[in-house]
A and B are shown apart, each in its own frame.
Chain A
Amino acid sequence: EIVLTQSPATLSLSPGDRATLSCRASQSVGTYLAWYQQKPGQAPRLLIYDASNRATGVPARFSGSGSGTDFTLTISSLEPDDFAFYYCQQRSNWRFGQGTKVEIK
């Protein structure tokens, strides 16, 4: 079973900062990796699929990269609305990473 490990667990940053979130797979998933954003009281929202493709309506400040076992979600300049939880998900069994919380410093 493929396991996804996200780091860090918490990222404390200020608006305007660059955020770099990591997701590592226990074995290769190719580019079959998605990223979701979840805010309190809301359902998750798809941000990135196939490692680097932005979903419809997702702002350009969100970008994804990586392949194989190492993936990165980058938020180029944090907006107040971006402080939330972020999860990666892979294809083989739909499991998620444990999440990264991006909080205001």
Chain B
Amino acid sequence: QVQLVQSGAEVKKPGASVKVSCRASGYTFTDYYIHWVRRAPGQGLEWMGWINPNNGGSDFAQKFQGRVTMTRDTSISTAYMELSRLGSDDTALYYCARLPSRRYYYDSWGQGTMVTVSS
């Protein structure tokens, strides 16, 4: 079955960077875009961006431009999201999600990775 398994919780200091991984199994990794979505405490779901695992192409919400990098390693079917210059408002649960071809909705999600930014 399709599974997206994310890396464990992280605690970072303000100004640091964090890199979250999302390991895919149960399907051909390069056939589906991976999107990243976060949910800060008391807030709703916020779309961050996507990566095309086939060619590494990516795009991000303007809010995160210059601060986020999305990469992948096809040899281990894993996508990565790195967020730099962390602030307290980056404290959130970060999710990866799979986007089926020619669809706009996500059919499978990772379990979430809690990132806490605190001095």
Residues of A participating in the B interface, judged by any CB pair closer than 8 Å: 32, 34, 36, 38, 43-46, 49, 55, 85, 87, 89-91, 93-99
Cα(A43)–Cα(B106), bound, Å: 11
Cα(A97)–Cα(B46), bound, Å: 9
Q: Which of B95, B97, B104 contacts A90 (CB 8 A)?
A: B104
Known contacts A43-B95, A44-B45, A87-B44; decide if A94 and B109 are in contact (CB<8 Å). Answer: no
Offer 29 A-B interface pairs, CB within 8 angstroms, sorted by A: A34-B104, A36-B45, A36-B106, A38-B39, A43-B110, A44-B37, A44-B45, A44-B97, A44-B106, A45-B109, A46-B105, A46-B106, A46-B107, A49-B103, A49-B105, A87-B44, A87-B45, A89-B105, A91-B104, A93-B47, A94-B35, A96-B37, A96-B44, A96-B45, A96-B46, A96-B47, A97-B44, A98-B44, A99-B44
B111 on the A face (CB < 8 A): yes
Cα(A95)–Cα(B106), bound, Å: 12
Residues of A within 8 A of B53 (CB): none
Give B88-119 interface residues, CB cut-off 8 Å to A. 95, 97, 103-107, 109-112
- The interface on chain B, measured as residues whose beta carbon lies within 8 A of the other chain's beta carbons, has a size of 19
Q: Are B47 and A43 in contact (CB under 8 A)?
A: no
Closest chain B residue to A98 by CB distance?
B44
Residues of B within 8 A of A96 (CB): 37, 44-47
Residues of A within 8 A of B35 (CB): 94
Residues of B within 8 A of A44 (CB): 37, 45, 95, 97, 106, 109
Cα(A45)–Cα(B107), bound, Å: 8
Residues of A within 8 A of B97 (CB): 43-44
